[in-house]
Structure 1
Amino acid sequence: MKHEIGTYLISPLLLVLLFSGLAGLLISFYLLKYRKNPGTLFLSLMQFSTALWTFFYGLEYAATEIDLKIFWSKFSYIGIVFAPVFFYFFSLHFANKQHKLKRFIRYSLPAIAILFMVGVATNDYHHLHWQSYSISTEYNTTIYQYGILFWMVFAFNYFLLILSIANIIPLVFKFPENFQMQIALIITACIFPVIGNMMYVFDTSPIPGFDWTPIFFVLSGIMLSYINIRYGTFDLIPFARNKLLDTIPDGILVIDKFLRVADVNPAFLRLIREPKEGIIGRPLIDVFPKRTSLIEQLSQMREIPPMELETIIDGQNHFMDMRISSLYDHQNNLSGRLVIFRDITEKTVYEQTISKANKQLKQEIKEKEKLISDLDAFDHTVAHDLNNVIGAIVTSTDLLQYEIDSKNHENLEEIISLIKLSANKSFHVIKELLTLASVRQQDVRTERIDMQKIFEESEKRVEDMIKTSKATIIKPDDWPSAYGYGPWIEEVWVNFLSNAIKYGGKPPVIELGSTLFYSEKKIRYWIKDNGNGLTKDKQQKLFQKYERFNQTHIEGTGLGLSIVKRIIEKLGGDVGVLSNAIPGEGCIFYFTLPQEDPSKK
C-alpha cells in the first residue's frame, strides 16, 4: 500500500527504513552509557553513522524525482564511508589490539572517507562514482551504473569489514567456553551488513535496486546491544581484563615464543619509562640490552623460578620481585611467557635496615659483653693492685705519724719515698683505667701525625725507667708519616717502651723502626728488645686482658697491651708480636696504621 505526498512516495519499506534509522539512533545513545569501556564509543559512532545512512537512504527511496534521489543518496554516503571506519576502530579495541591504532591510521582512515564523500558530492563533474542512474518504475528504486570510484569505496569498506571480523574471530579461541557463545553472536552480527550489501551490489535482492545494507547494519547493532544486555559483554570482555591490568600496581609483561614483547600494562611502562608503542613487537633483547643472561634463561628453560632484580629508576635503586609463568597452547607447546614485576623496594630496604640494625645491636651487645668481662676481670686485678699500693700508703702514713710524734726523723725520707712510689703506682692503675674507658667510648678524628715527635713525648714519660735500667734505645733517622690520633699513639709507645725495658735484657737494648707495605697502603712501626722472647702459646695470650708473665718480679695490671690492641684496631690497624723464644733475641712488637685518610675511602 503506497501513498504519494508531493515528490515522496510513502510505502511500508520506507517505514521500515525510518524505523530502522530511529532504532539505530536509540542504540547509539544507549551505547554511550558504556563509552568509558574501550571501543564502545566507536561502536556508538558506527550506529550513529548507520542511522544517518538509513534515514537518508529512506528519503532517497521515497523520492520520486531522479535529482532528488541523487541529492539524498549523496548525503547517505556520510554513513556509508564512516560506518566501516568506526566498526574497524571498535574491533581493534574489543580485541585488545588498540596498539595497532597508530596516529597515522587514526587520522588517515577518516581522511580517506572524507575524500570519498567529496568524490560522491562532485560526481556531476567527473561521473567516476555513478556513470548513469535511472528510476525503476515498478519499485521506485534507483538503478545505478557504477564507475571506478564506487568500486574503490566498495573495496575500502569491505577491506575494513574483513579486518574487523578478523580481529574478533580469534577471541573465540582465547576466551573460556562460557564466553565463546557471546563472541560467536558478535561475529554473526558483523556478517549481517555484508550479506545485505552483497544482495544490493550484485543485484540479488528480491526488490531490484533496494539496498538492504543499512537495515542489516541496524540489525547488527540491535544484536550487539542484546548481547550486552543479556551477557554484559562490553563490561566483561575484554574490558574487565583491560581494567584489571591497567589498575594493577604490578608490572605485567607478555612475551611471545619468539621472545618479542606482545603486551604490557601501564605499571610496567612506568617502570621502564617508555611508551607502549615503542616496545610492542620488539625483540626482548632490544628493550632490555643489559639483561642478556635473563633472556638466555627465558629462551633455554621451560620453567623459571622466582627471582629478585635490582634496577635503577630515576637515579634510585629499586628492587623487583619477578615471577615468570609459562603459557602453553592447546597442544601443550610453549607459546609465550607472562612476567609479573612487583616493586619490593620498600620491603627490601626495610629488611636491610632491620638487618643492619640487628648487626649493629649484636655488635653493641658483643662489645658490652666484652666490657662486662673486662670489668669483671678488672675488679680482681685492679682491686688487688690498688689494695696493695693504698695499703702501703696507709701503713706509711701511720709510720710517718709515729716518727713525727716520737721526734725521730731518721726514717722520714724512706717513708716519704715509699708513699710517693705507692701513689705513682695508684696513678698508673687509674690512668690505664681511664685510657681504656676513653678508647671504648670516644670517637676521634684521625689526621696525619708526626711519629718522631710523638715518640719523643713518649720517651720523656718513661725517662726515669730508661735511666734506672740503663737502657739503650736505637731510633731511626726518618719516621714515615701515617694517619692516627696523636694522644692514643703516644700511649701505645709508652706501653711498648715500658714493656721492652721491663722484659728486655740486662741492660735493655731497644731498637725501633718501620716498614712500608705498598700494596696494603699501611705502615708497620716496630720495637725490638733483647729479652728472653716468648713462646707461641704465650704470644697467643699476650694481647688478652690481664695476662701478665713473670709476675714474680714485674708489677702491673696486665691491662696495657689489651688497651694497645683496642686503640690500634679502632684506628684501622692491627697489632702483633714476633718471637722465636730464644734468649737474647727478644721480641718484636709492632702496630700498623693506614698510610691514607680512612675517612675518604
Structure 2
Amino acid sequence: MNWQEIVVIVVLLLSSLSGLVLTFYTWRRRSLPGLWAFGVIAIGLAWWSFWYAAEVALPGLPSKVWMARLEYIGIVWVPFGWVTFALAYTERGKWLTRKWILLLGLIPVITIIAAFTNDFHHLFYTSVALNENGPLSVLDASYGLLWYLNFGYAYILLLVGTVLLFIRIFSIPKAYWFQQVLLIISPLLPWVANLLYVLRISPMPQLDLSPLAFTVSALILGMDIFRFRLFDVSPLARSTVIDNMDIVMMVVDNQDRVVDVNPAACALLGYKTEELLGQTVREIFRGFPELFERFSNVAEINEEIDISQDGNQLYFRVQINPIYDNSQRVSGRLLLLTDITRSKITEQALMLAQVRTEFLAKVSHELRTPINAVLGMAELLTHGVYGPVNDRQEKALNQIVERTVHLNHLIKDLLEYTHRETGNFALQNKEFSPVKLLESVQEIFGVLARDKGLSLKTEVLPGIFPTMLGDSTRLLQILLNLTENAIKFTEVGEVVVRFQKVDSEHWALEVSDTGIGIPDELQKHIFEAFQQANYSITRDKEGVGLGLSIVKQLVDGMGGTIQIKQVDQGGTTFLIVLPLLKSDAKGNDYLIDTNLMF
C-alpha cells in the first residue's frame, strides 16, 4: 500500500466520520420538520465513504466487488435525501407524503437488489476488472441496463434538488448574504466533482471524488442548518409575514447601509427595493433631516413620532432594535415603523368630542338659569307688572321674549345632545295613543302654521292600533323637531304629519312639507351634529343644527331607521320606520280602519 492510497483512505474515513457527526446532530434536532431528509444524506454519505475506503484498501477483485456492492446501500439514498431535503427546505413538503416517499425509494431498492444479485443476471455490471494503471488499485466495471437506470434516476433527483435550492437562494434576504453564498456553493460541489471524474481530468482519474464532494456539500448545509438556523424560520413565512405586512421594516448594517427592506418601506419612501438596498439611511431620509438626526445613533428605542408628507400629518410608532451576530456582536439594526395615523386621529377626535360634550353640558347648565330669569322678567314687564309700557316698549319686550324663548330652545337641544353623547339617556316604553300624540302636535304648531299661512294636517292611516307601546315623550320630541323644521323651511303650501302601518312588524311616522327641499349634497350630512341644511339659502332660519342629530339618535335608540325623500314638485318627506309594539290594553284588539284627520 503506497502513500497515495493511505491518504485517500484517511480522507474517505474522515468523510465517513463527518457524515456520522452530521447524523448525530440531525438526530438531536429531529423535531424540526423536514430535517430527517438531511439525516438520510448524512448517513448515506457516511456509509458510502466508509465502504469506498474499504474498496481502496482491500486487495483482490472479489473483495473490491463486494465493497462496491455495499457502497450502493449508501449511494442510492444520497440523491433520494437530496431531493427530499430540497422539497422540505423550500416549503414543498406537501409532496412528501408516504405514497410519494415510497415511489421515490422504489428505484434505490431495485438498485441495491440488482447490485447484490448481479451474478445471476449481469444487468448491473456486465463485466468487472481491476484497474491498476495508477497509484490506486480500483474497480473497473462495464455497466448494464439497471446501472444506467439508477444513474439516470439519481441525476434527475440531484438536478431537481439543485434547481430547488437555487430558486430558494433568490428569496433569502440580503442581510443573510453569507448563508446565501453557502447555499450557492453546496449544490455545485457534487456536480463539479462528478464532471471531473467523468471527463477523467482530476489529479487521480481512477478516484471518484463524488463522496468527498457530497460530504463537503453536506458539511456546508450542516453549517447553514445548525449554526445559522436554516430551518428555524421557514422561507415562505418570511415572505408571507414580512413582505405582506403593513409595518415598514428596514435592516441596516453598522455603516447605516440598507441591507433589507419590505414593500411597505418602499411604498412609504417612494423607492423600488433595488434602489434602497445599499443606500445609506442619510440618503434615504434626506427629506426628513430631523428624523435622521433623532435616530441616527440610537441602538434601541420605542416611541411615537409625527412627520409631514405632501401636506399631510402622519403618525408612526418607531421601534429600533439591535441585530446581533453569532458572536453576540452588534451587526446592524432593525427599524420598524408602524403607521398609527388613523388610530391617532381617532383618539384625538374622541378626546375632542369628549371635551366638546363636557363643555356644552357645562355651558348649557350655566346658561339655563339666567336665561329663564331674563325670560321671566321680560314676560312680567310685558304684562305691566312693574308699570304700564307703551307700544314701542311692548314691541321691544316681545322681541326679547321671542329671542329668549328661541335661545332657551337651543339650550334644551344642547342638553339633549350632551345627554345622548354621554349615554345618560334611557327609553321608557309606556302605553300611548297615536291620536293624542298627533293632537299635541296640532295644539303646539297649529297656530304657528296658520299665522304663516300654511296648512298643518295630522292624520292616522288605517292599520294602526288605537293604543301602542313606546316612549311617547321621545316620540313627541321627534315629531316636534321635524314639524318645526318643516314649518320653518316652508313658505307656501302645507305640512303633513301622519302615522301609518308599514307591515306586520313595523309602523312609521311621516312628516312632509312643500318647502324648499334639501339639496342632495347636504342630505349625507344632515343628521350630523351642528349641521344645518339650507343655511346659505335662508340665513334668517336660526339654529345650531342639533335638531335632526337628536332625532337620528332617538330613532337609532328605538331600533328604527330614518330616511329623506325628495318630492318632485318641491318639498321634503322624513320617513321614520319603528318596530311595532302592540299594547295589551283592554279594547286594543282592533285596528283603526279609516283615515283620522284633524
Q: TM-score, normalised by structure 1?
A: 0.48
